[in-house]
């Protein structure tokens, strides 16, 4: 399916050659595509493997793939053969960005290395590589996966309840966080190129991004000398900041300052609690975390959770019910903020970046494998005969192998 309308977002006119697969890279390039970039997804002969990461499926492609590949065009190319690599060179002639997450050293082995080839041949090109650990160092060249790097970067050690033990974060935030960092890096590089006229190489790793997201645990460790541990739903530095049971629904309350705590106590019918020396400020509340949690748990147990949340919000205290995915995607707030996107059969999350003049848009559904292969080649000057020969030779891969 081709775009229903020309992109008009803030990145309209930017061309991205996308050799990434799975999650981190595709999440990054979907952000760029949502805001108007022309993202050409170059898939290997077997396709992006997350097309198979189901159920559920739509016409043979998994929901996992659907979630991070809208607004892109797909072409299947066999890069293991010289003709495939020459095809990519043609795509790069007017490209702004090349992004890939191939195994470290693969691009260099194929004659597509940045320093050796691309820098001189395409001086304005910005080449972003996403890898697990980088090309060198103790773990250089090894593959990286979200959960493993969560474990190695300390995320397990601070996530989970003490009685249950270290737990993986339920969202692939290492991959997605790296995708977000990569999108930021690419926008920075585009901004710098506008001044210098030169492209550059961006070295992104899952490990680096995971370590950088360990806040506030790293600064807490450096300042206190104590190794952070498991806190369950509680905040390490703020009390009360926790999940509580009510008569109707679990809720989460975050009273981040003294005024918020005073208002919380008033809504719960115990304004004097805020005057108790044990709870007079956040330092005292952290020191008496367990006692205060027991008191608040007792007060909330027989209350209506939704009503309490409404009163707290009206009083300026952050609070909300604990919802599941279905409840979130059907909530009035989600719909009001246009965070439930629909196009033809496709349904997904909306676009979180809201521009006043140049909004992003969902213009096309996630592409079938090689759905735009011949179209893309024709745009880049390939004749019908050349395209036919490339398809017959298996360089242009029209069906997944």
Which whole number is the average pLDDT over 190-204?
98
312 and 163 within one domain: no
CB 76, CB 373: distance < 8 Å:
yes
What b/e readout covers 17-35, taking b as 16+ CB neighbours within 10 angstroms? bbbbbbbbbbbbbbbbbbb
Confidence of residue 8 (pLDDT cuts 50, 70, 90): confident
Over residues 237-286, the pLDDT tens digits come to 999 999 999 999 999 999 989 999 999 999 999 999 999 999 999 999 99
In a domain, 4, yes or no: no
Across-strand partners of 127? 98, 201
Interval 192-209 mean pLDDT: 98
- Positive or negative, the Cα torsion across 294, 297, 301, 302? positive
For residues 306 and 349, membership in a common domain is answered with no
Q: Is residue 276 located within the same domain as residue 184?
A: no
CA neighbor of 233 nearest in space, from 245, 224, 225: 245
Structure-model confidence comparison of residues 8 and 9, the more confident one: 9
pLDDT in tens, 78-133: 999 999 999 999 999 999 999 999 999 999 999 999 999 999 999 999 999 999 99
In a domain, 36, yes or no: yes
- Name the residue range of residue 287's domain: 251-321
Q: Where are the alpha helices (DSSP H) in 57-128?
A: 63-66, 82-92, 106-109, 119-121
The pLDDT of residue 138 is above 60: yes
Q: How far apart are CA 213 and CA 179, in angstroms?
A: 13
311 and 341, same domain (yes or no) = no
pLDDT digits (tens, 9 = 90+) for 279-305: 999 999 999 999 999 999 999 999 999
146 is catalytic: no
Query: For residue 263, is it within any domain?
Result: yes
- Report the percentage of the chain scoring pLDDT > 70: 98
Q: What is the CATH number of the domain that holds 118?
A: 3.40.50.10540
**pLDDT over 90 at 3, yes or no:** no
Tokens of 74: 């797909």
Average pLDDT of 63-77?
98
Mean pLDDT of the chain: 96
Per-residue pLDDT at 294: 96
Residue 240 lies in a domain: no
Please tell me whether residues 166 and 313 are part of one structural domain. no
Of 321, 345, 376, the position where a domain reaches its end is 321
Helix (H, G, I), strand (E, B) or coil at 346: strand
Q: State how far the Cα of 37 lies from the Cα of 9, in Å rounded to an integer.
A: 8
Beta strand extents in 166-205 (DSSP E only):
201-205
Do residue 267 and residue 184 come from a single domain?
no
pLDDT of residue 5: 53
d(CA 205, CA 213): 13
Given 18, 61, 175, 242, which residue is catalytic?
175
Average confidence (pLDDT) over 303-331:
96
Residue 227 lies in a domain: no
User: What is the pLDDT, as a whole number, of residue 44?
Assistant: 97
Report yes or no on 208 lying in a domain: yes
Predicted confidence (pLDDT) at residue 2 exceeds the cutoff of 60: no
Q: Which two tokens stand for residue 61?
A: 């492609």
Do residue 140 and residue 44 come from a single domain?
Answer: yes
Residue 225 lies in a domain: no
Based on the fold, state whether residues 374 and 275 are members of the same structural domain: no
Number of domains in the chain: 2
Mean pLDDT of 347-370: 97
**Are residue 154 and residue 255 in the same domain, yes or no?**
no
- Answer yes or no: do 40 and 166 share one domain: yes
Task: Check whether 1 has a pLDDT greater than 60.
Answer: no
Whole-angstrom distance, CA of residue 341 vs CA of residue 346: 8
Chain-centre distance of CA 20, in angstroms?
14
Count of C-beta atoms within a 10 Å radius of residue 322: 14
The pLDDT of residue 231:
86
Evaluate if residue 153 carries a pLDDT over 60.
yes
Residue 307 and residue 195 share a domain: no
- Asked if 99 and 105 touch (Cβ cutoff 8 Å), the reply is no
CB of 179 closer than 8 Å to CB of 171: no
Quick one: which H or E segment has residue 100? strand 97-100
Q: Are residues 140 and 164 in the same domain?
A: yes
Position 6 pLDDT exceeds 80: no
- Judged against a pLDDT cut of 60, whether residue 4 lies above it is answered with no
C-alpha pair distances (Å), 222 with each of 160, 217, 218, 381: 22, 9, 6, 57
Tokens representing residue 380 in the block: 């880049």
């Amino acid at each position: 399916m081709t775009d229903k309308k020309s992109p008009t977002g803030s990145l309209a006119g930017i061309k991205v050659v996308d050799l990434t697969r799975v999650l981190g890279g595709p999440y990054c390039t979907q952000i760029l595509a949502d805001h108007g970039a022309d993202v050409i997804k170059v898939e290997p002969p077997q396709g992006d493997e997350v097309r198979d990461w189901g159920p559920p499926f739509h016409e043979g492609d998994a929901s996992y793939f659907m979630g991070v590949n809208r607004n892109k065009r797909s072409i299947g190319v066999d890069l293991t053969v010289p003709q495939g690599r020459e095809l990519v060179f043609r795509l790069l002639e007017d490209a702004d960005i090349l992004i890939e997450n191939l195994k470290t050293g693969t691009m260099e082995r194929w004659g597509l290395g940045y320093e050796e080839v691309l820098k001189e041949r395409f001086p304005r090109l910005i080449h972003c590589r996403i890898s697990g650990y980088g090309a060198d160092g103790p773990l250089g060249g090894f593959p990286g996966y979200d959960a493993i790097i969560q474990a190695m970067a300390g995320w397990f050690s601070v996530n989970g309840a003490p009685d249950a033990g270290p737990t993986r974060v339920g969202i692939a935030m290492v991959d997605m966080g790296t995708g977000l960092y990569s999108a930021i890096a690419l926008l920075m590089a585009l901004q710098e190129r506008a001044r210098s006229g030169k492209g550059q190489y961006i070295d992104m790793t899952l490990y680096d991004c995971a370590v950088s997201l360990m806040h506030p645990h790293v600064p807490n460790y450096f300042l206190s000398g104590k190794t952070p541990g498991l806190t369950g739903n509680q905040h390490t530095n703020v009390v009360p900041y926790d999940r509580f049971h009510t008569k109707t629904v679990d809720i989460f309350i975050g009273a981040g300052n003294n005024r918020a705590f005073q208002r919380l106590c008033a809504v719960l019918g115990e304004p004097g609690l805020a005057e108790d020396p044990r709870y007079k400020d956040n330092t005292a509340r952290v020191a008496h975390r367990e006692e205060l949690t027991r008191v608040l748990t007792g007060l909330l147990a027989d209350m209506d959770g939704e009503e309490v949340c409404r009163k707290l919000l009206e009083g300026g205290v952050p609070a909300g019910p604990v919802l599941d995915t279905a409840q979130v995607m059907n909530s009035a707030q989600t719909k009001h903020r246009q965070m439930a996107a629909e196009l033809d059969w496709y349904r997904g999350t909306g676009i979180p970046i809201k521009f006043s003049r140049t909004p992003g848009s969902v213009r096309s559904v996630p592409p079938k494998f090689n759905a735009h292969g011949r179209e893309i080649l024709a745009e880049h000057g390939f004749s019908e005969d050349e395209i036919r020969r490339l398809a017959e030779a298996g360089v242009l891969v029209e069906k997944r192998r």
